[in-house]
Amino acid sequence: MKRIVFDLGAVVLRWRPHEVLRRALPHRVAGAADAAHWAAQVFQGYGGDWADYDRGTVAVPELVARIAARTGLAPAEVQAVVDGVPEELRPLPDSVALIERLRAAGHRLHYLSNMPAPCADVLERREAALFAHFDDGVFSGRVQRVKPEPAIYALAAERFGAAPDELVFLDDHEPNVAAARAAGWQGVHFRDAAQAEAALRAGGWLA
């Protein structure tokens, strides 16, 4: 059977950046337009400063200083956003149920996530029951690589002890899926757990 590799944010764990900003910056975020503006400023489409944080090459104090200098937000405001990220990352029940079914069917499961190390530390402590379903996983912040860079897929395959064609990757971000396919993996663009399970079956990747 194929090994199935999950992205985490917006696939296994809830991820709504606009809600993070509404909670952290209620005085600045009055509606959807404000939330979209500050999401673009703070997260930069997960490029720039936030990509360096995901990559593990920038620690929280420097991240906060850089975003504050670039956006005009006060450092305390940026810190509130950073602190709010782990709280947002909560298990999605339908995805957890899919993971449990796959595990019960004998599939080996892994994860590959763009995730800064401080968030990874919180998640591993808080969601130990969820992570127990996985054989192994890679957090970008611990390996100084991020998706969709080819190097992180090569590193993950080696760590999982699998040939690329043995791996099927589920991610909500299409460029990450395309990069997995370019690395020789199979890929499914994740929209929800039911769609992903149907795609796995259609691909012949489920027993």
Q: What is the CATH number of the domain that holds 122?
A: 3.40.50.1000
Considering the domain architecture, whether residues 73 and 38 belong to the same structural domain is answered as yes
Q: Is the pLDDT of residue 1 over 90?
A: no
Q: Which of 73, 88, 103 is the last residue of a domain?
A: 88
- The one-character DSSP state at 5 is E
What pLDDT digit, counting tens, does each position of 183-195 carry? 999 999 999 999 9
Q: Is residue 67 part of a domain?
A: yes
Whether residue 40 lies inside any domain: the answer is yes
| Last residue in a domain, options 60, 88, 116 | 88
Task: Provide, rounded to the nearest whole percent, the portion of the chain with pLDDT above 90.
Answer: 98
pLDDT computed for residue 169 by the predictor: 98
Q: What is the mean pLDDT of residues 81-102?
A: 98
Interval 19-30: pLDDT, tens: 999 999 999 999
pLDDT score for 120: 98
Burial class (CB in 10 A: 0-12, 13-18, 19+), 74: exposed
Q: Write out pLDDT tens, residues 32-49.
A: 999 999 999 999 999 999
pLDDT at 207 over 80: no
Grouping H, G, I as helix, E, B as strand and the rest as coil, residue 165 is helix
Task: Name the domain boundary from 66, 88, 110.
Answer: 88
Average pLDDT over residues 127-154: 98
DSSP H or E segment with residue 54: helix 48-55
10 and 101 co-located in one domain: yes
pLDDT at 93: 98
